[in-house]
Amino acid sequence: MKAGRQFLIVVFAAVGIGFLLACNSIASAPDISSTSTAEPSATIQSTLTAVCKSGNCTDACIAKLNSVMEASDQPLSPPKGAAPQNLKTNPVILTVYQVQGDQLGSPNFIPNVPADLVSYQKATDVQQKVWEYFIAIIPRDQRKEITQFIISSDGRGGLLASVVQFSNNPKDWALNVDIVDTTKPRNLSFTLIHEFGHLLTLNDSQIALDTNLMAHSDDPQIVAQAAASCPQYLASDGCSQPDSYINQFFAKFWPRIYNEWIEVNAAKDESNYIGLLTHFYRSHPTQFISPYAATSPEEDIAESWAYFVLMKKPADDSIAHQKVLFFYDFPEFVQLREEIVNGICHYAALDQ
């Protein structure tokens, strides 16, 4: 999803799949293991240790992820009380933190927020918990672009989180989390990993940033000009580098469906767009790992990345699973996956 905002130009989001039938607002969170029975987290560490003695700790953790995340539910729960329903508006920014390494600065409370969001705005302990969880699972050297942590909300569902690139300093990004949607660790984990996938695939080593395109992404003439001068995949914020992950991903999976998607994406009217996108997704039932992945190549690679991290290695060869297997071709991603998955399990084991 894209949105315009002063200084904050490009937004890549995880959004509830409201536009597809039978999908709820957190439909993109995968059912990670077939046995999702909750069990006390006190048993998880010993179970993992026992399995790890003779095998792969990451696989052992993956097999336990559902129960690990269920067990760590409570510490991440937002304030009690009725959550505001989806406001059907742009997210309201509640609190902004500057980031220094692992630390958050003092909270900057944005004035005049809606009354039903005030308790969420002031719940700095919960906001801190979400940040601590993020830094526990994403290695420090992989998140140095993040210079702001933003707490926002559009009510329950809708936008779950996003990463935001600053137009005045494109090396800097913000992580934006809808605090109302952080109640379920499994969904929060998936959302944070999805957002991190955008950072991995759209940072300035991957994309030659085009500020003119960023500022006029709705102008067909400027998009056409940018496309004409980009031999690789043209991302929302510029031309991808030839050896970038998203260009490789695009070249492998998107050429046959790209023109069809461009027509879908050109729809101006929101309901028309949703109808066309739903049709596009359903017309290619083996192509996408989730409905939201059909939104764009950027969202497709972020969704596939998140499934790569959180699901067992796929055994079959559908195109959707080929997209997950794509990441296994990169040793750096295999290592990152191990670090993230083990970060989740260690966080749960420590937080008892």
**Which among 24-32, 48-56, 266-274, 298-306 is the span making contact with Zn ion, rule CB under 5 A?**
298-306
- Looking at the Cβ atoms of 178 and 299, the one nearer to Zn ion is 299
Nearer to Zn ion (CB atom), residue 26 or residue 348: 26
Is residue 302 a contact point for Zn ion (CB under 5 A)?
yes
Q: How far is the CB of 58 from Zn ion (least distance, A)?
A: 24
Binding part of the chain for Zn ion, among 8-16, 222-230, 235-243, 256-264 by CB under 5 A, reads 8-16
CB of 108 to Zn ion, least distance (A): 25
Return d(Cα 196, Cα 138) in angstroms, integer. 8
Residue 16 beta carbon to Zn ion: minimum distance, rounded to whole angstroms: 12
Considering only CA atoms, which of 193, 192, 134, 180 is closest in space to residue 25?
180
Within 188-247, which residues bind Zn ion (CB under 5 A)? none
Identify which range of 19-27, 103-111, 175-183, 294-302 contacts Zn ion by CB under 5 A. 294-302
Helix H or strand E encompassing 8: strand 8-15
The site that binds Zn ion (CB under 5 A) totals a number of residues, namely 5
Sign, CA torsion 240/192/319/23: negative
We find the least distance from the C-beta atom of residue 231 to Zn ion, in angstroms, to be 25
> Residue 341 CB, nearest distance to Zn ion (Å)?
20
Q: Name the residue nearer to Zn ion (CB basis): 68 or 298.
A: 298
The 118-157 site mask, x for binding Zn ion (CB under 5 A), equals ----------------------------------------
Residue 86 or 236 having the CB closest to Zn ion: 236
Nearer to Zn ion, 17 or 113 (CB): 17
Q: How far apart are CA 300 and CA 246, in angstroms?
A: 10
Using the rule CB under 5 A, give the single segment among 54-62, 83-91, 206-214, 302-310 that binds Zn ion.
302-310
Q: Pinpoint the alpha helices (H) of the chain.
A: 42-54, 57-71, 118-122, 124-137, 185-202, 211-215, 220-228, 245-253, 258-265, 270-283, 297-310, 319-325, 331-350
> What is the Cα–Cα distance from 159 to 151, expressed in whole angstroms?
12
| Of 192 and 348, CB closest to Zn ion | 192
Q: Which residues contact 55 (CB under 8 A, 6 or more apart)?
A: none
Is 281 a binder of Zn ion (CB under 5 A)? no
The DSSP line for 217-283 is: TT-HHHHHHHHHT-SS-EETTEEEPTT-HHHHHHHHHSTTTHHHHHHHHT--SHHHHHHHHHHHHHH
Q: Which amino acid is at 188?
A: L
Is the CB of residue 9 less than 8 Å from the CB of residue 214?
yes
Q: How far apart are CA 329 and CA 87, in angstroms?
A: 42
Per CB under 5 A, which region of 75-83, 135-143, 215-223, 295-303 contacts Zn ion? 295-303
Binding track over 11-50 against Zn ion, x by CB under 5 A: -xxx------------------------------------
We find the least distance from the C-beta atom of residue 296 to Zn ion, in angstroms, to be: 9
CA distances from 329 to 249, 307, 326, 335 (A): 11, 15, 6, 11
Q: How far is the CB of 292 from Zn ion (least distance, A)?
A: 7
Q: Which residues bind Zn ion (CB under 5 A)?
A: 12-14, 299, 302
